[in-house]
Amino acid sequence: MASPADDGRRPSRTVVITQSNYLPWRGYFDLIRRADEVILLDSVQYTRRDWRNRNKIKTAAGPVWLTVPVEVKGNYHQAIDETRVADRRWSAAHRRAIELAYGRAPHFAEGYPWLEGLLAGLAEEPLLSRINEALLRALCARLRIATPIRRCTDVLEREALIRTDATGRLVDLATAVGATRYLSGSAAQGYLDVSAFTRRGIEVEWMSYEGYPDYPQLWGAFEPAVSVIDLLLNTGPDAPAYLGRPVVTVQGGR
């Protein structure tokens, strides 16, 4: 039987293009691990009260936000990779909050020193995007995810990214890295023009985030919408086993 390379078709290659988030939940890492390459799209506008600079941990008092304070006053159109940290004491505050919340977690003794060192090492980093990227790379390694991660500006020039619309930007990036499949979070269904991908020979798939298995967790009823550090400190080396989810293929264009 002929392989895709033998019959003239491109080898299958899945790309994920996403904005960087701070200490994301496990679904974000499930998305990453399903790709052949991930592109961090941080040249786009920073959005307030979003996942770029904050996430939740589970505490005895319920879910609590960990927020990296950033400079936003008057900077209404700044890009994510231009957004600067406003108060460098965030790292110490987050480390203390994590210690208090997870001191009784089964894998705190082995996981917290690693996480504490990671956060302490980023305390003086002035750019939010660089903090997020460093954490994502380290967390992927901890979860045994080997997917390559690149910044969008390492793939295409910033000017080219800025002058296209939301879908065009994604199509151009996917094309530039030879993608045959674009895997996207389901929230993009409201604006993504699937036909623009189809015209370039790129299939679109939507990620499903429903039905992740529960795992042993502190502080009462299970809470799924928290940072992946909750998973790591509660399950340790078993954490990758709780990432599995299905993908749904889109048929035809929009």
Domain boundaries defined on the chain:
14-249
Summarize pLDDT for 90-122 with one digit per residue, the tens.
999 999 999 999 999 999 999 999 999 999 999
Percent pLDDT > 70 in the chain is 93
Residue 1 has pLDDT above 50, yes or no: no
Give the pair of three-digit tokens for residue 243: 């990432």
pTM: 0.91
Summarize pLDDT for 116-170 with one digit per residue, the tens.
999 999 999 999 999 999 999 999 999 999 999 999 999 999 999 999 999 999 9
Residue 10 has pLDDT above 80, yes or no: no
CA 75 from centre of chain: 24
**Mean pLDDT across the chain:** 92
Residue 195 has pLDDT above 60, yes or no: yes
Strand partners, 59: 62
Label residue 177 exposed, middle or buried (CB < 10 Å: 0-12, 13-18, 19+).
middle
Label residue 244 by pLDDT band (50, 70, 90). Answer: confident
Q: How far apart are CA 156 and CA 145, in angstroms?
A: 25
Instruction: Give the C-alpha distances (Å, rounded to integers) separating 122 from 26, 57, 88, 140, 222.
Output: 22, 19, 9, 17, 30
Where b means 16+ CB within 10 Å and e means fewer, 72-95 reads eeeeeeebbbbbebbeeebbeebb
Give the pair of three-digit tokens for residue 103: 């001191």
Strand partners, 195: none
In degrees rounded to 5, what are phi and psi of residue 33? -70, -20
Q: Stretch 236-251: mean pLDDT, rounded?
A: 75
Report the pLDDT value the prediction gives residue 3, as an integer from 0 to 100.
39
Please answer whether residues 115 and 240 qualify as being in contact, where contact means their C-beta atoms are separated by less than 8 angstroms: no
Q: How far apart are CA 131 and CA 128, in angstroms?
A: 5
| Closest among 222, 179, 227 to 204, alpha carbons compared | 179
